[in-house]
Amino acid sequence: MEFAAAVYPNEKNGLETKASASVEFDIPETVEEMIEEWGHDVVHSKVLAEIRRNVQSVIRAAVVTGKDPQVEIDNWKPGVTRRVSAKKPASKEDFVKFFASLSPEEQAEYLEELKQQA
């Protein structure tokens, strides 16, 4: 499977222009194959890390949309994608607040989506 990533210039990385690269990386098709390839501890650790990120994302979305985070988590299951359709930000400040509530990974994903739509 091919993976690609882009890095955009900012104060921290010192790049003057966008840089990108792609690699080939085979991912086993089943959990059993992943455990066989990488070991139980690695697979378990990656699943836990992703669930933590997902839970934090649900909490942030609930806070931004004014919903009860506990109720949202009680109705959420790992692996079920939930794009919370937050109401359109009323102002630039609301959008900045929403964006700031995202994890760095979510911010990067959001920026990529915006760039693709521009």
Give the per-residue pLDDT at 100.
83
Q: pLDDT tens digit string along 23-45?
A: 999 999 999 999 999 999 999 99
Other beta carbons less than 10 A from residue 64's beta carbon: 19
Other beta carbons less than 10 A from residue 62's beta carbon: 19
Report pTM. Answer: 0.56
* pLDDT for residue 109 is more than 70: yes
**Which residue has 């990067």 as its token pair?**
108
Where are the domains positioned within the chain? 1-33, 39-117
Is 58 in contact with 72 (CB distance < 8 Å)?
yes
**Which residue has 């990488």 as its token pair?**
38
Q: pLDDT tens digit string along 76-102?
A: 888 755 555 555 567 788 888 888 888
Give the per-residue pLDDT at 77.
86
> In whole angstroms, what is the distance from residue 67 CA to residue 21 CA?
39
Give the per-residue pLDDT at 90.
72
